[in-house]
Amino acid sequence: MNLYTHPKTAAHNARAARLRQAAGEDGEGSVQVHLEDALEDTKAKVFAIYGKGGIGKSTTSSNLSVAFSKLGKRVLQIGCDPKHDSTFTLTKSLIPTVIDVLEQVDFHPEELQPEDFVFEGYNGVQCVEAGGPPAGTGCGGYVVGQTVKLLKEHHLLDDTDVVIFDVLGDVVCGGFASPLQHAERALVVAANDFDSIFAMNRIVAAIRAKSKNYDVRLGGVIANRSRETDQIDRFNAAIGLKRLAHIPDADEVRLSRLKKATLFEMGDSPALQAIQNEYLSLADQLWSGTEELKAEPMKDRDIFDFLGFE
């Protein structure tokens, strides 16, 4: 019997063991990032906003933050995109990111003060941009973890009622899924089209995997940039999802980004008032509490056949 194990074989076996352990925790094939600093001890309601790239997650997150603030809640919005443009309609600028300020102090977080990375936006919404490593390097999950660690170390969550994570694009890796480890509810922004619903299906699978070991649960769908919602509603009915709000495809929404303003600052026309009221209604629903949705995602080929018209 050969008792010698080649070093490369030993390394391979160790890596395989780590992969098996991760698969057991987050689902088959998972090698997701696990963060030490969760938000378990905060009393705030924590939401993570997901959706296909370019679907309007930052616009949705910012206006939802304002809606919560209009209801008298203390709100913190955390942008989780290296583009660091989640909060600019709130702050009217591209604020420094957590990674930016950490780099300035040679990554010694004890030298930072809250005012270095937390900025007040419209109607008192507190804004943080996590930022990210240079393109093609590093892990987004590490950045989210460092951001949460800083917030906790400075006790910035003690006086917060609502935390909103605005997360980039599709969840193709554990780093981008890491906000799910902190959230109570995950919301998906989708348009009434094939691409965003196809992406939503993958996001549902990621949330379902995370919910096995974390408190996060599916909260529902925000229909955005769509005149109709028939395809979203049909998909929701098939897998067990629910639409919470419908933001129409309106020019006012596009203009708000160009004017670096939230929709609550854009005037009081009937069209704008209707959208503002939709956000206020959504915030009220989320604050009151939404049911846990136990959706079952489709296989890629099944959703391909399911969506669209003959």
Specify the higher pLDDT residue, 44 or 17.
44
163-201 per-position pLDDT tens digit: 999 998 665 566 667 788 889 999 999 999 999 999 999
Q: How many CB atoms lie within 10 A of CB 298?
A: 20
> On the CB side of 171, how many CA atoms lie within 13 Å of its CA?
31
Residue 299 falls in the annotated catalytic set: no
Question: Distance (Å, rounded) from C-alpha 113 to C-alpha 136?
Answer: 30
Catalytic-role residue among 26, 116, 166, 170: 170
Residue 249 falls in the annotated catalytic set: no
pLDDT value of residue 83:
86
Residue 8 falls in the annotated catalytic set: no
Question: Distance (Å, rounded) from C-alpha 136 to C-alpha 119?
Answer: 28
38-54 per-position pLDDT tens digit: 555 668 999 999 999 89
Where does the pLDDT of residue 232 fall: very low under 50, low under 70, confident under 90, or very high at 90 and above?
very high
Does 210 count as an annotated binding residue?
Answer: no
Catalytic-role residue among 83, 212, 259, 299: 83
Residue 161 falls in the annotated catalytic set: no
102-145 per-position pLDDT tens digit: 999 998 989 999 999 999 999 999 999 998 876 777 677 778 88
Does 149 count as an annotated binding residue?
Answer: no
Q: How many CB atoms lie within 10 A of CB 45?
A: 18
In this structure, what is the dihedral angle of CA atoms 128, 63, 290, 158, given to the nearest 10 degrees? 30
User: Global pTM?
Assistant: 0.85
Tokens 């206020």 identify what position? Answer: 280
Helices (H), the chain: 7-26, 57-70, 88-91, 98-104, 140-153, 174-177, 194-210, 230-239, 251-258, 270-288, 300-306
Residue 261 scores a pLDDT above 90: yes
Does 141 count as an annotated binding residue?
Answer: no
Catalytic-role residue among 45, 57, 73, 210: 57
Pairing outcome for strands 243-247 and 217-224: parallel
